[in-house]
Amino acid sequence: MKKFLLVAVLVMGFSMMAVAQDIPATEIFAGYSYFRCTTGTSSCDLNGWNLSAAFNVNKNFAPVIDIGGHYGKLTGRNYSAHSFMAGPKFMMPVGRFTPFVHFLAGIDHSNLGGMKTRDTQNNFALAVGGGVDISVNSFMSVRAFQAEYYGLRLRGELRHDMRVAAGAIFKLGKRY
């Protein structure tokens, strides 16, 4: 009987510890980003960076601030695009893996430069997508991938683009 009680107490103790896992208060993502853009009959492949901060409310929801920069050529001219977006992120942790989806909206600042002219615009941008984060330890995770539909309102028309990213996540603080 004593062995049974000891086992029952241990099982209950370990199960309580599993339920009370620490959730980081903030997660900072920094990584490489690829952006595929289309404009009329032209398209471009841009390389760049992506940074985001997720402020975890609980293990399944976090508001996110996301910024990114992409650079390359479009119709033979230098092209750069910077995005400033925010929105909700929904997560479903399963062991070390955390699949997520997010819905971001904000501004895309694009700059098409040339020898004599420069075309700079600020436009509405929308990113809908998700990915998978893999926890390395209590301080860091790896974003295995993040893929998004990237809608951009450009000169009154909706442009359909794609953005893909991968990188490191740094976990700061604790939310219990």
Q: Domains of the chain by range and CATH?
A: 24-172 (2.40.160.20)
Would you say the C-alpha torsion 123, 112, 28, 90 has a positive or negative sign?
A: positive
CA-CA distance, 89 to 129, in Å (whole number)? 10
Q: How many residues does the chain have?
A: 176
Q: Which range, of 85-89, 105-109, 110-114, 159-163, averages the lowest pLDDT?
A: 110-114
For 122-168, what is each residue's pLDDT tens digit? Answer: 899 999 999 999 999 999 999 999 999 999 887 677 888 999 999 99
- The predicted-structure confidence for 49-76, as pLDDT tens digits, reads as follows 999 999 999 999 999 999 999 999 887 8
Predicted pLDDT at 159: 82
